[in-house]
Amino acid sequence: MVYTIAVIALIVLIFFPRIGLLTLYKNYRGAQARERVEDALKHLLDREQQGRHASPESLGGTLDLRRAKVTHLLQDMETQGLIETRGTELHLTAEGERWALHVVRAHRLWERYLADEARMPLNRIHNEAQKREHSLTEAQLNDLEAALGHPTRDPHGDPIPTREGKINRAEGMPITAWQPDRPARIVHLEDEPVLAFQQILATGLRLGQDIRIIEKTPDRYVLSDGENEYRLAPAVASNIYISALPESEIMKREAVPLFELTHDQRGEIVTLDDAVQGFTRRRFLDLGLTPGTVIYPELQNFFGDPRAYRVRGTLIALRRDQAAQIWVKPI
């Protein structure tokens, strides 16, 4: 009797719908297959954006798959109408491109969330986003994007595809192609190879930072932000992309960080720092902290932080690090 009950329990455990071990195993294998397809689609999209086309060899190298498994994967993707094979070149179909852009959008929105809200170090967000990018539906992605304040770029400076499937062209050029002693702004930090990216982060360089080249030799680049110097090997420096300073920067040069205003001194908001993204940017905008708005400190805090500011008839509290990201022109 006991034996019979045990056998029945084992059968239920294995074959019970939705929660049985067999069902769970099938779901796991299905999720694995989907992730492999999505990783392959990302590889093809990346190659096409570089003006090249993927091949079975490049796909196998990227996904670390043997030729037999690559062949099986490609057959499966062709059956789903995601790719077309032309000789040795692999091409995305319209449906394949749509799906690839969905995965890229998920990855970059996750990176934005992890950097801005979870405060995860930049050298860890890529791998974590890689794990999460396969899990969100289109509706969930739209909700995440709205909650983050509709960001246009990820923490590395890469453009985030829109919900319509459009992706803006990446800005900037490698700093190795820039003229020495000409100011520029960092607009993208390439995160591959990982070792080069970690070296860039270790120096303290960051997205949105204004720099200039003060020394350029075959062996090294020396960059300066006006206060600090950064020394990099040319191969590492080539992963830093920069562009000319935008018009808002000219306006910012006549402004000061909000925390520098003295008690009851009024200031007109010029711009929010480029580093303000995600939920933080959305909160600032919801509080009325927009260009042209008058703001001034009120109610001194004996401890210094946070500090109260009057804006649009409302009293708000901002920490010093938040006020440092709001640029104002004293009036």
For residue 15, the model assigns a pLDDT of: 52
Neighbour-count burial of 256, counting CB atoms closer than 10 A to its CB (0-12 exposed, 13-18 middle, 19+ buried): middle
Neighbour-count burial of 66, counting CB atoms closer than 10 A to its CB (0-12 exposed, 13-18 middle, 19+ buried): exposed
Give a yes or no: residue 126 inside a domain: no
Same domain, residue pair 239 and 263: no
Question: What is the C-alpha to C-alpha distance for residues 232 and 46, in angstroms, rounded to an integer?
Answer: 27
DSSP 159: B
Which residues in 291-307 are b (16+ Cβ under 10 Å) and which e? Answer: eeeebbbeeeeeeeeeb
Which CATH number do you get for residue 28?
1.10.10.10
Give a yes or no: residue 109 inside a domain: no
Neighbour-count burial of 323, counting CB atoms closer than 10 A to its CB (0-12 exposed, 13-18 middle, 19+ buried): buried
Same domain, residue pair 272 and 207: no
For residue 16, the model assigns a pLDDT of: 52
Same domain, residue pair 205 and 256: no
Counted domains in the chain: 3
Give a yes or no: residue 47 inside a domain: yes
The two tokens of residue 205 are: 């360089």
Which CATH number do you get for residue 274?
2.30.30.90
Same domain, residue pair 278 and 292: yes
Of 39, 74, 92, the residue at which a domain comes to its end is: 92
Q: What is the dihedral of CA 272, 276, 279, 280, to 10 degrees?
A: -70
For residue 252, the model assigns a pLDDT of: 65
Neighbour-count burial of 154, counting CB atoms closer than 10 A to its CB (0-12 exposed, 13-18 middle, 19+ buried): buried
Please answer whether residues 77 and 83 qualify as being in contact, where contact means their C-beta atoms are separated by less than 8 angstroms. yes
Domain that holds residue 54: 2-92
Q: What is the pLDDT along the chain (331 residues), one digit of tens a residue?
A: 555 665 555 555 555 556 555 555 565 565 788 899 999 999 999 999 888 889 999 999 988 999 999 999 999 999 999 999 888 899 999 999 999 999 999 999 999 999 988 889 988 999 999 999 998 899 999 999 998 888 888 998 889 999 988 887 767 899 999 988 888 989 899 888 889 999 999 999 988 888 999 999 999 999 998 889 999 999 999 999 999 876 666 666 678 899 988 887 899 998 888 778 777 888 898 899 998 999 999 877 666 688 899 999 899 999 888 888 899 999 8
Give a yes or no: residue 156 inside a domain: no
Of 92, 120, 151, the residue at which a domain comes to its end is: 92
DSSP 186: E
Same domain, residue pair 210 and 290: no
Same domain, residue pair 265 and 326: yes
Count Cα neighbours of 276 within 13 Å in the Cβ-side half-sphere.
18
3-class DSSP assignment, residue 153: strand
For residue 19, the model assigns a pLDDT of: 53
Same domain, residue pair 235 and 258: no
Give a yes or no: residue 114 inside a domain: no
DSSP string spanning 33-75?
HHHHHHHHHHHHHHHHHTT--B-HHHHHHHHT--HHHHHHHHH
Give a yes or no: residue 145 inside a domain: no
C-alpha distances out from residue 173 to 169, 188, 244, 310, Å: 12, 9, 10, 41
Same domain, residue pair 241 and 255: no
Give a yes or no: residue 23 inside a domain: yes
Same domain, residue pair 231 and 255: no
Of 60, 92, 124, the residue at which a domain comes to its end is: 92
Give a yes or no: residue 35 inside a domain: yes
The two tokens of residue 248 are: 């808002």
